[in-house]
Chain A
Amino acid sequence: MRLKEYKIVNFIIAFIIIFGLWQIAVMIINKPLFPQPYAIIINIVRTFHKDIAIHVVYSLIRIIVGLLFTLSIGIPVGILMGYFKKVDSILSPIIYFNYPIPKIALLPIVMLIFGLGDSTKVVMIFLITFFPVVVNIKDEVKNIPEDVFYTMYSLGATHFQIIKEIVLPGIIKAILTSLRISIGTAISVLFFTENFGTEYGMGYFIMDSWMRINYIQMYSGILILSLIGLFLFILIDVLEEILCPWRK
């Protein structure tokens, strides 16, 4: 019943609490580094269309393309590893060896290979989200009860039929959970990578505002980045409601 949890009233209360605490902090600290929350909201309303929207579009496209790459490669790899023991025994050591490497450390190499443009940002999102997605999906396939597979084997079902009828619908929840985790990570890595070789994107916008000592604009960027994450999380919950009706 996730959709029902998203009552607008709850969000309004949450925003009021956050902005209330913020306002108190501003009154205590009283420095230009902490602008009034209402000034930030007014700034967003005034400048979003003119200054911020283009950066949002760039960031969203990079996140979506990066995650699409992750899902289109990560889902089949995770399924194959979870379903075929031999594939798992070959790929698991490779995945587990590469998983702990801090992917952000690979940024210079990725920049050398893919240049300073959008490809680098997308590749970085892919690299950092691919491994958790694969591991999560592999585990979910392995969690499908054996009984379910036995009935399929006794029917003479092919691997293709089993994957289509049992495995794929069975891992939708895991795919959405992976997406939820990946979105947070993707936004973080994007913020970092958008500081290199671009003049568009929320990462660039926030850091550029900071360097120009335009704190209101900087906070506007942070708030919008947070709203992008919130929007994507809600979108996934809506998808879960539609695609996983058995969980009601």
Chain B
Amino acid sequence: MIEIKNLDVYYKNVDKHVKVIDNANLTVKKGDICAIIGPSGGGKSTLLKVLAGIIVDYEGKVLIDGKTVNPKIHRIGLIPQNYGLIKWKTVEENIFLSTKIKDGKGNIDLNFYEKILKELKLKDFVKRYPGELSGGQMQRVSMARALLLKPNLLLMDESFSALDAMTRENVQKLFLEVWEEHKVTTIIVTHDIKEAIYLSKNIAVISSSPGKIVEVISNPLFGRVNMEMEIEYIQINSKLRKTLKGDS
């Protein structure tokens, strides 16, 4: 379980401290997917960096399974906006890297690796370099790297935003299939309402700077295809828009 309690984050700006997250509270149950949606500059990515253990200078509590978030203890899979792949390593080396860092080179679960490759349809690309891949393929490699880690928490920062519409739909569908298989606790940061509704069980709306979680909406449409014409979709979409507009 992920718990964020009374979280305040400040950025140091020359001579003053700027508050970017204000008293954020959020709970994500083990094995759930939660989307954090909000306007640009609302502190979504900052919140994700706190959860990833990248930002450690904060007030309040951020707990993974009851323990303060710590990348040395927890297994955190991060999929950044631009995938975070290393262009001078092959796909295979990129995927192995997370486990190599966490558990050592000799402790990579090769059976699990093969399974993930198959699930994410990456078998034909393992010897290629990221520069030889499409956006969708890079996204899948980044996903594979995070999943091979067998993470306590999977964090996705606008991970689908750089993909074209068709690729995005395909990769999102694939992501849900893989998620169903592994049931990893996942937090997705996005500014896309449709993506949030399709990919998450709960949607946390964050206000603009300083970011504050103003509402958490339970989403019955999680994983449903062709949901755009359903009444529930229109209702949730309109509710989210209203909350986001109210904020701006």
- With both chains docked as a complex, state the minimum distance between the C-beta of B141 and any C-beta of chain A, in angstroms: 12
Chain A residues whose C-beta falls within 8 Å of the C-beta of B194 in the assembled complex: none
Query: Roughly how many angstroms separate A105 CA and B139 CA in the complex, as a whole number?
Result: 54
How many interface contacts (CB-CB < 8 Å) are there between A and B? 68
Q: Are A151 and B53 also in contact (CB < 8 A) when A244-B88, A246-B129 are? A: no
Interface size on A, residues (CB 8 A): 20
A155 and B54: CB pair below 8 A?
A: no
Query: Roughly how many angstroms separate A44 CA and B243 CA in the complex, as a whole number?
Result: 84
Chain B residues whose C-beta falls within 8 Å of the C-beta of A246 in the assembled complex: 87-89, 129-131
- With both chains docked as a complex, state the minimum distance between the C-beta of B77 and any C-beta of chain A, in angstroms: 8
Out of B72, B86, B88, which one reaches A172, CB within 8 Å?
B88
Is residue A93 within 8 Å, beta carbon to beta carbon, of the partner chain? no
B residues 134-154 touching A (CB-CB < 8 Å):
145, 149
Encode A102-131 as 1/0 by CB contact (under 8 A) with B: 000000000000000000000000000000
Query: Roughly how many angstroms separate A183 CA and B122 CA in the complex, as a whole number?
Result: 43
Main secondary structure of the interface of A (DSSP, over half): helix
Is residue A198 within 8 Å, beta carbon to beta carbon, of the partner chain? no
A152 and B53: CB pair below 8 A?
A: no
Q: Are A147 and B131 also in contact (CB < 8 A) when A153-B54, A154-B53, A172-B88 are? A: no
A156 and B71: CB pair below 8 A?
A: yes
Question: Of B27-35, B95-103, B185-193, B213-221, which binds chain A?
Answer: B95-103
B88 and A170: CB pair below 8 A?
A: yes
A154 and B101: CB pair below 8 A?
A: no
Encode B14-32 as 1/0 by CB contact (under 8 A) with A: 0000000000000000000
Out of B82, B97, B98, which one reaches A145, CB within 8 Å?
B82
CB-based nearest A residue for B79: A151
- With both chains docked as a complex, state the minimum distance between the C-beta of A147 and any C-beta of chain B, in angstroms: 4
A residues 149-199 touching B (CB-CB < 8 Å):
150-157, 161, 165-166, 169-170, 172
Is residue B201 within 8 Å, beta carbon to beta carbon, of the partner chain? no
A153 and B71: CB pair below 8 A?
A: yes
Is residue A245 within 8 Å, beta carbon to beta carbon, of the partner chain? yes
Query: Roughly how many angstroms separate A17 CA and B101 CA in the complex, as a whole number?
Result: 55
Chain B residues whose C-beta falls within 8 Å of the C-beta of A155 in the assembled complex: 71, 76, 98, 101-102, 149
Chain B residues whose C-beta falls within 8 Å of the C-beta of A161 in the assembled complex: 101
CB-based nearest A residue for B75: A155
Q: Are A156 and B70 also in contact (CB < 8 A) when A147-B80, A150-B80, A244-B88 are? A: yes
Chain A residues whose C-beta falls within 8 Å of the C-beta of B197 in the assembled complex: none
A154 and B87: CB pair below 8 A?
A: no
Out of B53, B71, B86, which one reaches A148, CB within 8 Å?
B86
A169 and B88: CB pair below 8 A?
A: yes
Is residue B160 within 8 Å, beta carbon to beta carbon, of the partner chain? no
Is residue B172 within 8 Å, beta carbon to beta carbon, of the partner chain? no
Is residue B36 within 8 Å, beta carbon to beta carbon, of the partner chain? no
Is residue B49 within 8 Å, beta carbon to beta carbon, of the partner chain? yes
Chain B residues whose C-beta falls within 8 Å of the C-beta of A172 in the assembled complex: 88
Chain A residues whose C-beta falls within 8 Å of the C-beta of B87 in the assembled complex: 246
- The 5 A-B residue pairs whose C-beta atoms are closest, nearest first, are A156-B71, A154-B52, A156-B72, A246-B129, A151-B84
- With A154-B155, A155-B102, A156-B102 given, can you name 19 additional A-B contacts, CB distance below 8 Å? A147-B80, A147-B82, A148-B84, A150-B49, A150-B78, A153-B54, A153-B71, A154-B53, A156-B70, A165-B86, A165-B100, A165-B101, A169-B86, A169-B89, A170-B86, A246-B88, A246-B89, A246-B130, A246-B131
**9 A-B pairs with C-beta separation under 8 A:** A148-B86, A150-B49, A150-B84, A154-B53, A154-B78, A155-B149, A169-B86, A245-B129, A246-B131
| B residues adjacent to A (C-beta < 8 A) | 49, 52-54, 70-73, 76-78, 80-89, 97-98, 100-102, 129-131, 145, 149, 155
